[in-house]
Homo-oligomer: A and B are copies of this chain.
């Protein structure tokens, strides 16, 4: 009996806030494998803010998803059938094969996962792109070192929560901004952040940040942009570094938002701002994975997952990212 694949495709390019109607669930029969191929059955898929960019046809670092094409994204998946000598049925691998239940691969871009060392979902989180983004963004772009004051926006998000914990491991003072008191409690009481600010209830982000960063801000890891980021610039320390990892507050904007001009702040502080993509660090991933695995297994890095059940709910899980519904990593559980 033929296997039927269910997949989520891009139905339309969103104008402004993405909605469920921008996606469509489709079914198709899975074809027979050819030599060298494997059939993969998705276990978990990851939804991440960067995917909003792929839904637009704006020029960017990667081609946009075409209308009718499967939504792009990382998955953890299991080999169901194999005609590739490197893989056998039952192997668990991480791949970038998008929002679908089944996929055929020639093996390119697959990464084997050892289910006995850590839960397989961590391959989409601390032990995957999320962890590497936090690691290189903080240590290479922000150049965080012992004694620095590090501010991270989106601190209870997947990347932000790892950034803060690595910064603590490295001996930094860490202040996070987040969008609820519950998240604030998690980052300060569970993850060890020195302080946190709920940007939705803060009466003055600058005053609150200044209070928590009495020596100024040496490193700012930005996932969010907008008013939180505006408040950082007047508080920069000498030779400070700002990593622009994401700007989630902008991704659904329909026109250029205005904010206070701040570039003059960079001159007296000789501050550096750099936009970065984790893909540029691909060659150095093993270095990050070695440290992150050690920290995860020794309990120095903790994580939280929001898991939504069922491929058909991937759009809802994705849209929730823009409403701050997730604490930690947002995942979709597709099959056991």
Q: Given A256-B261, A263-B275, check contact A268 B61 (CB 8 Å).
A: yes
- Contact of A259 with B by CB under 8 A: yes
- Contact of A229 with B by CB under 8 A: yes
Q: Given A258-B260, A259-B258, A260-B256, check contact A271 B275 (CB 8 Å).
A: yes
Spot the interface stretch: A154-162, A242-250, A300-308, A327-335. Answer: A242-250
- Contact of A66 with B by CB under 8 A: no
A246 touches B273 (CB 8 A): no
Q: Given A250-B261, A261-B225, check contact A266 B256 (CB 8 Å).
A: no
Interface membership of chain A positions 251-264, coded 1 if the CB is closer than 8 angstroms to chain B and 0 otherwise: 10000111111011
Interface membership of chain A positions 264-283, coded 1 if the CB is closer than 8 angstroms to chain B and 0 otherwise: 11111111111111001000
A259 touches B257 (CB 8 A): no
Q: Given A60-B268, A268-B60, A268-B61, check contact A263 B277 (CB 8 Å).
A: no
- Contact of A14 with B by CB under 8 A: no
- Residue numbers in B under 8 Å from A280 (CB-CB): 270
- Report the interface size class on chain A: 35 or more
- Contact of A222 with B by CB under 8 A: yes
A225 touches B273 (CB 8 A): no
- Residue numbers in B under 8 Å from A128 (CB-CB): none
A257 touches B257 (CB 8 A): no
- Contact of A226 with B by CB under 8 A: yes
Nearest to A240 among chain B residues (CB) is B275
B267 touches A244 (CB 8 A): yes
Residue of A61, A225, A266, A267 with most chain B CB atoms under a 10 A cut-off:
A267
Q: Given A264-B225, A264-B247, check contact A270 B259 (CB 8 Å).
A: no
Nearest to A262 among chain B residues (CB) is B256
Nearest to A229 among chain B residues (CB) is B263
B273 touches A266 (CB 8 A): yes
29 contacts between A and B (CB under 8 A): A59-B268, A61-B268, A61-B269, A225-B264, A226-B261, A229-B263, A244-B264, A244-B267, A247-B267, A251-B264, A256-B260, A257-B261, A258-B258, A258-B260, A259-B260, A265-B275, A266-B273, A266-B275, A267-B276, A267-B277, A268-B275, A269-B275, A270-B276, A270-B277, A270-B280, A271-B274, A272-B272, A272-B274, A273-B274
| Top 5 closest pairs, chain A to chain B, by CB | A266-B275, A256-B260, A267-B275, A247-B264, A61-B268
| Given A60-B268, A229-B263, A259-B261, 5 more pairs with CB closer than 8 A | A251-B264, A259-B259, A266-B273, A268-B277, A271-B275
